[in-house]
Amino acid sequence: MDLKGKKVRLHDMSLRDGMHAKRHQISLNQMVEVASAMDEAGMPLIEVTHGDGLGGASVNYGFPAHTDEEYLSAVVPKMKQAKVSALLLPGIGTVDHLKMAADCGVSTIRVATHCTEADVSQQHIGMASKMGMDTVGFLMMAHMASPEKILEQAQLMVSYGANCIYATDSAGYMLPDEVSSKIGLLRAELPANIEIGFHGHHNLGMGIANSLAAIDAGAARIDGSVAGLGAGAGNTPLEVFCAVLDRMDVETGVDLYKIMDVAEDLVVPLMDHPIRVDRDALTLGYAGVYSSFLLFAQRAAAKYGVQARDILVELGRRGTVGGQEDMIEDLALTMAKQKGKG
Amino acid sequence: MTQKLKAAIIGPGNIGTDLLMKMKRSDWIEPVWMVGIDPTSEGLKRAEEMGIKTTSEGVDGLAPHVIEDDIRIAFDATSAYVHAENSRKLNELGVIMVDLTPAAIGPFCVPPVNLADHARNLEMNVNMVTCGGQATVPMVAAVSRVQPVSYGEIIATVSSKSVGPGTRQNIDEFTRTTAGAVEKVGGAKQGKAIIIINPAEPPLMMRDTVHCLTEGEPDQAAITESVEQMVAEVQKYVPGYKLVNGPVFDGNRVSMFMEVEGLGDFLPKYAGNLDIMTAAALRTAEMFAEEVDKNVISLPARG
């Protein structure tokens, strides 16, 4: 693979996707400290919100240590060069949250829908675009639809005003060929001024390989997280990815040693548990299940005396999508009842 | 029983047609008019075939017939944008409006919780909230009538095929309206609503999860009994309303996991989200009719 001379914009997820792994309990000081160090290392874009995006604070997804507004107001003014993004899932967050984020100085809004349901994003993409923000359409669980379907949904988001489209491997299920075909078709068919992005999870250990495949197929933005702090087995570990890109002569603008230090000195010590491809995270990738289900399935398994792996496989079989965390406890209760009978 | 209240349905789409099929079986409400705006609409044709008078000239096409046909109640299954005008024109003629749009001009109506009050007050416009609201607010109310609920949260999961373009274009309206009803009708001090659209094939049945945070330790026995009673109340008009799991208790959290299967009249059974709206709307009209019959309320006088 020859990527020499290509330019890629890296987008850090450790303070948003990483919130899943931290049960949304990162403190304001920790947020500011990590974000400032990434800013210093040259990270161009950093996402900050509840793990489930603006308005995610809930019983269903977990109440965070602080509100989105508090996190954003603490981080944004401290940034010297980095821009801050916020995620929004229609059905969870609303345009009111979007306006709040814009008022806090967020410059990029990423509107996320399941990969076949892009038409719920019209209000939010339209508003962000009208406000002159960098507006990203984020198609989640992209392994669940064909490249043609992903393209059709991407075109809807572009028609609403998105200037960048992501194919998002929320389950960490994709293999490099699938990434190539999906990103490749988006790049071939969307207008040249629309950027393409890829967001990976490392559940099958494919974070780096898939992200390289995405760049090769035309992606200009790649998500990852420093030290891999993210849901499931985490996101593409950015310090590793930076080293790989450095060797492949791809330009990122990120200082490799500095980002290695952020990972080792600041982010790893934050972790409540090692972010790795353990049995349950592997199951997510293998069964194609939304990565943030991991800790919920483990908690429900412990509470109701069933196996997390069994819960996750069944959720995959049922075709659950992002946001259906409530079905985890429901299923565990049902499985426990059946076990009692058996 | 005295004579049925005569009704008009505005909006001959899926909801309007399903409502019509349910109404044909009602002991209290007689469907007379189906109102549309497109003369070539399938829905108007279907209504005609079922022996219902139709107009394709909107509410203005219905208005001249309201008095002569003694239309007393109308169901608006159009959109929030036109509901206000429809309601004004028909209220003027003494017609009670049951609003199935998100317009919410009138008070929210969730039958087992507050319909009796609305009927006794002869509210001329009642709003049916949202599908998620109809499925979950009764559960919030079942907890809050036992002890104060500081926070109520609902998650409605619906099949992609059952969510129309109107809801999709304005999904924020769903979350805002439903959260509002969790507070105003459900009795939670603070409400939150989440909607998830799932494209699985075959389409999944509507699922609804209700979480309440109680003030103080939840009275498990009393809440369980109250929830079971409330489920039975909803089942009177939505037989496929089911408590799959719960109530489960975790500290001060009380959670109920519901499934809503529709009757499969015009809408498929998985579309319990649409069915619970039409069933609740019809139940609302029936309660008004029952109260008229019992002389508890009198309909607006007509010369």
The mean pLDDT value of chain A amounts to 97
Crossing angle for the helix pair A308-317 and A326-341, nearest 10 degrees?
A: 110
Here the tokens at position B204 are: 């999944």
As a whole number of angstroms, the distance between CA A108 and CA A152 comes to 23
* A41, A126, A208, A234 from A225: Cα distances, Å: 14, 28, 11, 8
A92–B176 CB contact, under 8 Å: no
**Residue B24: CA count within 13 A, CB half-sphere:** 13
How do beta strands A134-140 and A164-168 pair? parallel
**How many angstroms separate the CA of residue B268 from the nearest CA in chain A?**
19
A25-39 confidence digits (pLDDT tens): 999 999 999 999 999
As a whole number of angstroms, the distance between CA A149 and CA B296 comes to 57
- Is residue A51 within 8 A of residue A61, CB to CB? The reply is yes
> What pLDDT shows up at residue A280?
97
Q: What is the CA angle A23-A28-A33, rounded to 5?
A: 105
Closest by alpha carbon to B79, among B11, B163, B23, B142?
Answer: B11
Here the tokens at position A249 are: 């002569």
Suggest the residue from B197, B256, B259, B260 to mutate for an interface test with chain A (most A CBs closer than 10 A): B197
A87-129 confidence digits (pLDDT tens): 999 999 999 999 999 999 999 999 999 999 999 999 999 999 9
In the block, tokens 């499931």 appear at A232
Q: How far is CA A1 from the centre of its chain?
A: 25
- Is residue B216 within 8 A of residue A290, CB to CB? The reply is no
Judging contacts by C-beta atoms under 8 Å, the chain A residues touching residue B245 are: 329-330, 333-334
B257-299 confidence digits (pLDDT tens): 999 999 999 989 999 999 999 999 999 999 999 999 999 999 9
- Is residue B13 within 8 A of residue B77, CB to CB? The reply is yes
Element (H, E) at B254: strand B253-260
Suggest the residue from A52, A60, A89, A139 to mutate for an interface test with chain B (most B CBs closer than 10 A): A60
- Is residue A103 within 8 A of residue A76, CB to CB? The reply is no
A117–B176 CB contact, under 8 Å: no
Confidence label for A53 from pLDDT (cuts 50, 70 and 90)? very high
As a whole number of angstroms, the distance between CA A288 and CA A205 comes to 14
Mean pLDDT of A227-253: 98
**How many angstroms separate the CA of residue A142 from the nearest CA in chain B?**
13
ipTM of the complex: 0.96
Percent of all residues in chain A with a pLDDT value above 90, rounded to a whole number = 99
Does residue B2 carry a pLDDT above 80? no
- Pick B163 or B80 by higher pLDDT: B163
Mean pLDDT of A142-156: 98
Element (H, E) at B232: helix B220-235
> What pLDDT shows up at residue B303?
64
A326–B246 CB contact, under 8 Å: no
Does residue B62 carry a pLDDT above 90? yes
- Is residue B54 within 8 A of residue B47, CB to CB? The reply is yes
Here the tokens at position A123 are: 């209000």
> What pLDDT shows up at residue B3?
79
Which chain A residue's Cα is nearest to B204? A318
As a whole number of angstroms, the distance between CA A232 and CA B132 comes to 30
A282-329 confidence digits (pLDDT tens): 999 999 999 999 999 999 999 999 999 999 999 999 999 999 999 999
The model's pTM is: 0.96
**Residue B59: CA count within 13 A, CB half-sphere:** 21
**How many angstroms separate the CA of residue B170 from the nearest CA in chain A?**
7
> What pLDDT shows up at residue B114?
96
Confidence label for B128 from pLDDT (cuts 50, 70 and 90)? very high
> What pLDDT shows up at residue A33?
98
Confidence label for B102 from pLDDT (cuts 50, 70 and 90)? confident
Crossing angle for the helix pair B14-23 and B272-293, nearest 10 degrees?
A: 40
* A118, A146, A166, B243, B298 from A170: Cα distances, Å: 16, 15, 11, 31, 58
Judging contacts by C-beta atoms under 8 Å, the chain B residues touching residue A333 are: 245-246, 248, 257
Q: How far is CA A46 from the centre of its chain?
A: 11
* Phi, psi for residue B44 in degrees, rounded to 5: -65, -40
As a whole number of angstroms, the distance between CA B245 and CA B243 comes to 6
**How many angstroms separate the CA of residue B193 from the nearest CA in chain A?**
8
Name the region of B70 (left: φ>0; alpha: ψ -120 to 50; beta: rest).
left
3-state DSSP assignment of residue B143: helix
B167-197 confidence digits (pLDDT tens): 899 899 999 999 999 999 999 999 999 999 9
Percent of all residues in chain A with a pLDDT value above 70, rounded to a whole number = 99
**Nearest CB to A91: which of B175, B211, B248?**
B175
3-state DSSP assignment of residue A183: helix
DSSP for residue A12: E
Does residue A61 carry a pLDDT above 70? yes
In the block, tokens 């349950």 appear at A280
Suggest the residue from B194, B201, B207, B248 to mutate for an interface test with chain A (most A CBs closer than 10 A): B194
Bridge partners, A198 (sequence order): A167, A222
Does residue A223 carry a pLDDT above 70? yes
Residue tagged active-site, from B47, B71, B131, B227:
B131
- Is residue A264 within 8 A of residue A228, CB to CB? The reply is no
As a whole number of angstroms, the distance between CA B34 and CA B46 comes to 10
As a whole number of angstroms, the distance between CA B255 and CA A254 comes to 46
> What pLDDT shows up at residue A261?
98
Closest by alpha carbon to A155, among A121, A192, A190, A193?
Answer: A190
Does residue A264 carry a pLDDT above 70? yes
Q: Can you give the C-alpha Rg of chain A in angstroms?
A: 19
Suggest the residue from A54, A111, A120, A333 to mutate for an interface test with chain B (most B CBs closer than 10 A): A120
**Nearest CB to A59: which of B165, B253, B257?**
B253
Q: How many CB pairs under 8 A join A and B?
A: 95
- Is residue A322 within 8 A of residue A170, CB to CB? The reply is yes
Judging contacts by C-beta atoms under 8 Å, the chain B residues touching residue A304 are: none
**How many angstroms separate the CA of residue A100 from the nearest CA in chain B?**
15
Does residue A187 carry a pLDDT above 90? yes
A→B contacts (Cβ < 8 Å), by residue, are 58-60, 90-92, 94-96, 114, 116-117, 119-120, 122-123, 144, 318-324, 326-327, 329-330, 333-334
> What pLDDT shows up at residue A10?
98
Does residue A342 carry a pLDDT above 90? no
3-state DSSP assignment of residue B267: coil
Residues sharing a CB contact under 8 Å with residue B125, sequence separation 6 or more, in sequence order: B87, B91, B96, B97, B99, B105, B106
Q: Which residues of A participate in catalysis according to the annotation?
A: 20
Name the region of B76 (left: φ>0; alpha: ψ -120 to 50; beta: rest).
beta
Crossing angle for the helix pair B42-49 and B14-23, nearest 10 degrees?
A: 10
As a whole number of angstroms, the distance between CA B79 and CA A191 comes to 35
* Phi, psi for residue B71 in degrees, rounded to 5: -75, 125
Judging contacts by C-beta atoms under 8 Å, the chain A residues touching residue B244 are: 330, 334
- Is residue B171 within 8 A of residue A127, CB to CB? The reply is no
- Is residue A134 within 8 A of residue A164, CB to CB? The reply is yes
